[in-house]
Structure 1
């Protein structure tokens, strides 16, 4: 017997703000976007996750911030 589980992710943008630094690919400005993700299992919410993602305004690449210790 196989079971099929259906999970749905809904995301919405909470806000945008300018971030410091420049894109390493095109030297464009960087913007920080706050995103709220909601995971649902059969229409029941199971998780809420807030994330901050960084994007270049010129080339639209997603940038990853590495934290060195």
Structure 2
């Protein structure tokens, strides 16, 4: 008996824009990138999310918001 588990994750960039503030590591500019994630199981979409990621344009570090 064989089981075939087929999962796939697609990530596409929707857009970029300038974010307020500066990088705490190098004082570079911060950009916000909107990303669309879609998980598929056997070519059927399971989950669909849109998230915003922040990163520095000078040192290319990914930045996180801490509340």
Fold equivalence (TM over 0.5): yes
Q: Which residue of 2 aligns with 1:53?
A: 53
Q: Unpaired segments of 5 or more residues in structure 2? A: none
- 1:27-42 correspondence to structure 2 within 5 Å: 27-42=27-42
Q: CA deviation at 1:63?
A: 0.2
Moved more, 18-27 or 3-12: 3-12
Q: Say what the alpha-carbon RMSD is for the aligned residues.
A: 1.4
- 1:1-69 correspondence to structure 2 within 5 Å: 3-67=3-67
Q: Distance in 2 between matches of 1:65 and 1:12?
A: 22
Instruction: Report how many aligned residue pairs link the two structures.
Output: 67
Q: Unpaired segments of 5 or more residues in structure 1? A: none
Q: Distance in 1 between matches of 2:40 and 2:18?
A: 31
Q: CA deviation at 1:5?
A: 2.8
